[in-house]
Amino acid sequence: MRATVLVRPKEGILDPQGQAVEQSLRKLGFDVAHARVGRVVDVEVDASSTDEARQRVDEMCRQLLANPLIESYEVEVHE
């Protein structure tokens, strides 16, 4: 089963990368605000149900893929 993990800087955590991207987008003439930069991790996981896959990927996030002090994450499991 394929799963996608979205890791983001937590709300309220300074994201200088997001700020730099936002400033650059403004220089290009785009009217944007609150740009945040995170990362995407795609994994194939061996699981018999989406619930099981979600649980397993959640555990991966807590142990490695995200640092809970500064990052939040979302898991999307593809059927």
Partner 1 sequence: MNPRVAVIQFPGSNDDRDALWALKALGAEATLVWHAESELPARTGAVVLPGGFSYGDYLRCGAIARFAPVMDAVTRFAAEGGFVLGICNGFQILCEAGLLPGVLRPNASLSFICRDVALRVERSDTPFTSRCEPGQRLVIPIKHHDGAWFAPSELHAELESRGKILLRYEDNPNGAVGAVAAVTNEAGNVMGLMPHPEHAVDPLLGSGDGALILASLLDGVRERSASVALA
Instruction: State yes or no: residue 20 binds partner 1 (CB under 8 A).
Output: yes
CA distance 66 to 55: 15
Which residue number, 12 or 29, has a Cβ lying nearer to partner 1? 12
CA 43 vs. chain centroid, Å, equals 13
Binding mask 45-64 for partner 1 (x = CB under 8 A): -------------------x
CB of 51 to partner 1, least distance (A): 26
In the complex with partner 1, the residue whose CB is nearer, 17 or 49, is: 17
Least distance from partner 1 to the Cβ atom of residue 37, Å: 10
Residues whose CB falls within 8 Å of the CB of residue 9, separated by 6 or more in sequence, listed in order: 15, 18, 36, 37, 38, 70, 71, 72
